[in-house]
Amino acid sequence: MPDTPFPRAVITRRTLLTAAGAGAVAAALAACTADAPPVPTPTAAPSPTPWSPPSEPMRFPTGFTWGAATSAFQVEGSLAADGRTPSVWDTFAARAGTIRDGSTGEPAADQYRRYEEDADLMASLGLGAYRFSISWSRVVPTSTGTIDSRGVDHYRRVIDALAGRGIRPAITLFHWDLPQWVQDAGGWIRRETADLFAEYATACFEAFGDVDADWMTLNEPKTHAYVGHWYGAHAPGLRSSDVAAAAVHHQLLAHGRAVERFRLSGAAGRIGIALNLIPVYPTDPAQPEAAVRVDARENRLFLDPVLLGTYPDDAVGGEAGQLPADPVTFTGLQKSGDLETIAAPLDFLAVQYYGVTGVNPGGRETQVAPTSAAPWQQVLPEGLYDLLTRLAADYPAIPLLITENGIPDRSPAVTVDDPERLEFFRTHFQQAARAISDGVPLEGYYAWSLLDNFEWAEGYTQRWGIVAVDFETQERMPKRSAGFYADVIAANAVPPAKHTSWIGSINPRAVAG
């Protein structure tokens, strides 16, 4: 693997070993802070080493998986159907002022009822895989722990609909919609929630263990912990960095317990975890210390325990860039054997990549790349290459899947004209192909999202789908980016440059041949 040339100052394990101050953990704590999510301020961009895509299409390996992703609460609707009980997101969305447009998870994209139509849509795009999540509240609706066969039967029908069209399922067990009954018992602040999750996961493995699927235990435990338990901008709307730290550890413990149950169950398929990861660039490479700590908080706090069986010692504490929880309390949550459980061997790592961040010497997040319509998203395709090569170097020997990547439309209005997304995909596919050609074991890519859907605190004001949804009529309309994606899938290759004339005109055999 060659040294990653771009961006020169990105944080890697090598940076960590050399950075002055890395490894220091403040004894002081900043418990129970209620901060707003960081809003980057513009600064000079990192200076990239130029990389020019080749003038020929870049091909992907035979067997590369092309898919699209959604999650239960964001697309299903039918929130009261078949015995489902509320999740923390039902409760949170019902509170005034939590969701930008005052909306709820009803009707979302009505996929609970329209999964057959959506499977047809996937087949028409040539998707080889569909990533969806199971709603815990449908499978285990109450604190009695009884499995509701109506929930199980629904997901069996979804899996059958996919199988009938040759589409492989990628199943997430937990995508933030914790049952309210679990939250009422304490949620992720409680260690016992890991046991409840293991029971729920076991029920799913028993019900669908015959299915050749890629299972993901958790979706983005970082966002659920930080935005839901520290910033309070997501469900369950808590505002405590110590609670967020507990949510980190107990989610990871739940992950490990579920992986152990998966192995015991003998279920077919593979299992991993979906982590949202972000390259961190110090704006002053001569002073990288705060950026090293942000890298610990954003990336290594999740990667290291899961893949190496250790927590980094610079992620939690009172120094700039750290999760400002009490490190002593955080360490106290960790019982003997927890890290062995959390590091239970995985079959793949699911990587969710949306962009990059800069960090100044004071630890403030800064803007180093253009933002999308989501102000938190700094778009830099080369960051994907940088992330993938860093993962392959620092956490070798684990296959990688990109299980989310995408941008929202510029406007909340329904549109199928999305040139920005099309260009986003083209440039990110190129960086994925570049990483593969440099030896990264990347096996698949899932676009976020198949459908416009309920974008959490943004409600229906941000449309992330490659297929537009009219939420009044539930009509599905593939966007231009979906056509582009279908052509890439058919060719198993990404075209070299501006592509508008390429769309729909590619001869797959000519490119692949």
Give the binding-site size for ligand IFM (rule: CB under 6 A).
8
Do residues 255 and 221 touch, judged by C-beta distance below 8 A? yes
Do residues 355 and 379 touch, judged by C-beta distance below 8 A? yes
Shortest gap between Cβ of 222 and ligand IFM (angstroms)? Answer: 10
Query: Strand order in 357-359's β-sheet?
Result: 41-42, 365-367, 357-359, 280-282
Of 220, 326, 452, 487, the one binding ligand IFM by CB under 6 A: 220
Residue 455 near ligand IFM by CB under 6 A: yes
Active site residue: 404, 423, 455, 458, which one?
404
Contacts of 200 (CB under 8 A, 6+ apart): 136, 139, 140, 173
Q: Which of residues 333-362 bind ligand IFM (CB under 6 A)?
A: 352
Q: Is 404 one of the catalytic residues? A: yes
Contacts of 204 (CB under 8 A, 6+ apart): 134, 139, 171, 173
Neighbours of 416 (CB within 10 A): 15
Residue 326 near ligand IFM by CB under 6 A: no
Three-state secondary structure call for residue 398: coil
Nearer to ligand IFM, 74 or 357 (CB): 74
Nearer to ligand IFM, 319 or 455 (CB): 455
Cα 8 from Cα 17, distance rounded (Å): 16
Q: Which of residues 388-417 bind ligand IFM (CB under 6 A)?
A: 404
Cα 284 from Cα 299, distance rounded (Å): 20
Nearer to ligand IFM, 65 or 372 (CB): 372
Q: Looking at residue 148, what DSSP letter applies? A: -
Residue 193 near ligand IFM by CB under 6 A: no
Shortest gap between Cβ of 294 and ligand IFM (angstroms)? Answer: 19
Shortest gap between Cβ of 329 and ligand IFM (angstroms)? Answer: 28
Nearer to ligand IFM, 105 or 324 (CB): 105
Active site residue: 220, 298, 365, 423, which one?
220
Cα 297 from Cα 221, distance rounded (Å): 12
Q: Is 206 one of the catalytic residues? A: no
Nearer to ligand IFM, 175 or 480 (CB): 175
Residue 448 near ligand IFM by CB under 6 A: yes
Of 4, 12, 15, 71, the one binding ligand IFM by CB under 6 A: 71
Provide the Cα torsion 455, 461, 462, 467; round to 10°.
Answer: 90
Shortest gap between Cβ of 105 and ligand IFM (angstroms)? Answer: 12
Taking every pair of Cα atoms in the chain, the longest distance, rounded to a whole number of angstroms, is 63
Residue 487 near ligand IFM by CB under 6 A: no
Shortest gap between Cβ of 228 and ligand IFM (angstroms)? Answer: 12
- CA 464-467-471 angle, 5° bins: 80
Shortest gap between Cβ of 110 and ligand IFM (angstroms)? Answer: 17
> Which amino acids are annotated catalytic?
220, 404
Binding site for ligand IFM (CB under 6 A): 71, 74, 220, 352, 404, 448, 455, 464
